[in-house]
């Protein structure tokens, strides 16, 4: 009769706890599918939930668990393929884990707008904050932050950190340069991304160390801005000679490079080899099709979410993550044999 009386009004988590003979914290663990609940206890709680027709509102759940099941996401506000892909795949992973995402785009030319975005998300009582970081100074500032919720960054660094999740830009770059040298090109130039972009910094490091290991001739790094226009401009102005390879820090710049080389009468891959980075959808359909380094953004989104869940549920167990490997996709712009 007591259960019927409770079912006739809107039940709350405390009603479920009383009927199941457990604490409201145990009910919360069952609702959030957390571990460390005995099967018999879980079954008793689930039976009470069904009997009372209990459906927790987000506000009630937040009041009891002090969690909103919402994650704040700070993105750089660009349309560049990498950051956009990371944000998209993180959203997919969060929804699969039954979390909402509150996203804010913030320019990352300096730290202040990013900190303002974080402060705004904290006022919304998010459970954690994820940042897609495209500036080395912002990354350093984020790593130094001490706030009341877990914070995770999708960013590359030569120094691993428990709150960083990344794809291995360094080894991906070394593999791209090694491929061009093994394909018979005398040396490999590098058209890099912006100087303060963490991915660009690690790709430069990989290019430089692979060139040194092969004892090939080094050339100065030239920085682009990730756009096809910047790749086109740099390749139009460069003093190029047949027999060289060009490692371009992303595919969109590489597409611009291919266009400039064609206008200059330099054949790809016969005269110049070109390798990009990202494997954007267009890479297989330009002419010649682009050899490139593929990044697994779907896996990165899932690992970001796993890291967030660990930091929320079991922060003492969190350790450094191994960067995800890349894969070289060989196409016509730099085949193994010319």
Q: Compute the average pLDDT of residues 221-241.
A: 97
pLDDT for residue 13: 79
Q: What percent of the chain has pLDDT over 90?
A: 67
- Tell me if 150 sits within 8 A of 313, measured CB to CB: no
Residue 208 lies in a domain: yes
pLDDT for residue 64: 46
Q: Compute the average pLDDT of residues 102-119.
A: 90
Residue 330 lies in a domain: no
pLDDT for residue 35: 67
Q: Compute the average pLDDT of residues 136-163.
A: 89
pLDDT for residue 5: 47
| 24 and 117 fall within a common domain | no
pLDDT at residue 230 greater than cutoff 90:
yes
pLDDT for residue 1: 39
Q: Compute the average pLDDT of residues 163-181.
A: 96
d(CA 98, CA 19): 26
pLDDT for residue 142: 87
- Tens-place pLDDT, residues 16-36: 889 999 987 788 778 777 767
| 214 and 317 fall within a common domain | no
Q: pTM to 2 decimals? A: 0.79
Residue 20 lies in a domain: yes
Q: Which residue has the higher pLDDT, 4 or 225?
A: 225
pLDDT for residue 249: 98
**pLDDT classification of 338: cutoffs 50, 70, 90:** low
Residue 80 lies in a domain: yes
User: Which of residues 20, 41, 65 is at a domain's end?
Assistant: 65
CATH code of residue 278: 3.40.50.2300
CATH code of residue 27: 1.10.260.40
Q: Which residue has the tokens 């500032």?
A: 141
pLDDT for residue 325: 96
User: Which of residues 65, 87, 108 is at a domain's end?
Assistant: 65
Q: Does an H or E element contain 182, and which?
A: helix 169-182
pLDDT for residue 277: 98
Q: Which residue has the tokens 């320019």?
A: 107
**Structure tokens belonging to residue 293:** 């380094």
| 284 and 173 fall within a common domain | yes
| 163 and 302 fall within a common domain | yes
DSSP secondary structure string, 53-76? T----HHHHHHHHS--SEEEEEE-
Q: Which residue has the tokens 């756009």?
A: 227
| 186 and 175 fall within a common domain | yes
- Tell me if 151 sits within 8 A of 129, measured CB to CB: yes
pLDDT for residue 6: 44
Question: Looking at 143-152, 188-197, 255-264, which range is the least confident one?
Answer: 143-152
| 177 and 276 fall within a common domain | yes
Residue 329 lies in a domain: no
pLDDT at residue 171 greater than cutoff 80:
yes
Q: Compute the average pLDDT of residues 82-91.
A: 94
Residue 338 lies in a domain: no
Residue 324's Cβ-count burial label (10 Å; 0-12, 13-18, 19+) is middle
The Cα diameter of the chain in Å comes to 89
pLDDT for residue 9: 60
| 187 and 287 fall within a common domain | yes
| 162 and 304 fall within a common domain | yes
Q: Compute the average pLDDT of residues 260-278.
A: 98
d(CA 228, CA 326): 22
Q: Which residue has the higher pLDDT, 121 or 78?
A: 121
| 127 and 195 fall within a common domain | no
- Tell me if 219 sits within 8 A of 162, measured CB to CB: no
d(CA 34, CA 27): 10
Residue 331 lies in a domain: no
Domain count along the chain: 3
**Structure tokens belonging to residue 314:** 């079991």
- Tell me if 183 sits within 8 A of 337, measured CB to CB: yes
**pLDDT classification of 216: cutoffs 50, 70, 90:** very high
Q: Compute the average pLDDT of residues 134-158.
A: 90
Alpha-carbon dihedral angle through residues 207, 153, 164, 29, given to the nearest 10 degrees: -150
| 160 and 308 fall within a common domain | yes
pLDDT for residue 70: 93
**pLDDT classification of 327: cutoffs 50, 70, 90:** very high
Query: Which structural domain range is residue 41 located in?
Result: 2-65
User: Which of residues 26, 50, 65 is at a domain's end?
Assistant: 65
pLDDT for residue 23: 87
Q: What percent of the chain has pLDDT over 70?
A: 91
> In 39-54, which positions are buried (b, 16+ CB within 10 angstroms) versus exposed (e)?
eebbebbeebbebbeb
**pLDDT classification of 146: cutoffs 50, 70, 90:** confident
Residue 333 lies in a domain: no
Average pLDDT, the chain: 89
**pLDDT classification of 199: cutoffs 50, 70, 90:** very high
| 59 and 175 fall within a common domain | no
| 46 and 120 fall within a common domain | no
Compute the half-sphere exposure of residue 103: CA atoms within 13 Å on the CB side of its CA: 13
pLDDT at residue 241 greater than cutoff 90:
yes
- Say which DSSP state 167 is in: B
């Amino acid at each position: 009769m007591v259960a019927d009386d409770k079912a006739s009004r809107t039940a709350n988590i405390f009603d479920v706890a009383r009927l199941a003979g457990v604490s409201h914290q145990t009910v919360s663990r069952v609702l959030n599918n957390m571990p460390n609940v005995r099967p018999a206890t879980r079954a008793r709680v689930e039976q009470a939930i069904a009997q009372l027709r209990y459906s927790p509102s987000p506000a009630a759940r937040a009041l009891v668990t002090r969690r909103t099941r919402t994650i704040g996401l700070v993105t750089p506000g660009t349309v560049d393929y990498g950051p956009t892909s990371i944000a998209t795949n993180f959203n997919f992973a969060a929804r699969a884990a039954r979390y909402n995402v509150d996203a804010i785009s913030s320019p990352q030319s300096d730290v202040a707008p990013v900190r303002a975005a974080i402060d705004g998300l904290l006022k919304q009582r998010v459970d954690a904050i994820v940042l897609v970081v495209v500036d080395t100074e912002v990354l350093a500032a984020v790593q130094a932050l001490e706030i009341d919720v877990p914070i995770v960054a999708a960013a590359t660094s030569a120094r691993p950190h428990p709150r960083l999740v990344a794809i291995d830009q360094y080894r991906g770059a070394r593999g791209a340069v090694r491929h061009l040298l093994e394909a018979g090109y005398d040396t490999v130039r590098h058209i890099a991304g912006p100087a303060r972009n963490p991915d660009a910094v690690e790709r430069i490091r990989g290019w430089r160390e692979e060139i040194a290991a092969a004892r090939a001739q080094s050339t100065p790094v030239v920085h682009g801005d990730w756009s096809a226009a910047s790749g086109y401009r740099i390749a139009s102005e460069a003093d190029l000679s047949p027999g060289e390879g060009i490692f371009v820090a992303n595919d969109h710049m590489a597409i611009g490079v291919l266009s400039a080389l064609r206008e200059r009468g330099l054949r790809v891959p016969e005269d110049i080899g070109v390798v990009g980075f990202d494997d954007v959808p267009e890479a297989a359909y330009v002419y010649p099709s682009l050899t490139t380094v593929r990044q697994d953004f779907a896996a990165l989104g899932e690992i970001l979410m796993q890291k967030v869940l660990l930091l929320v549920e079991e922060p003492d167990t969190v350790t450094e993550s191994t960067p995800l490997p890349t894969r070289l996709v060989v196409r016509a712009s730099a085949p193994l044999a010319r």
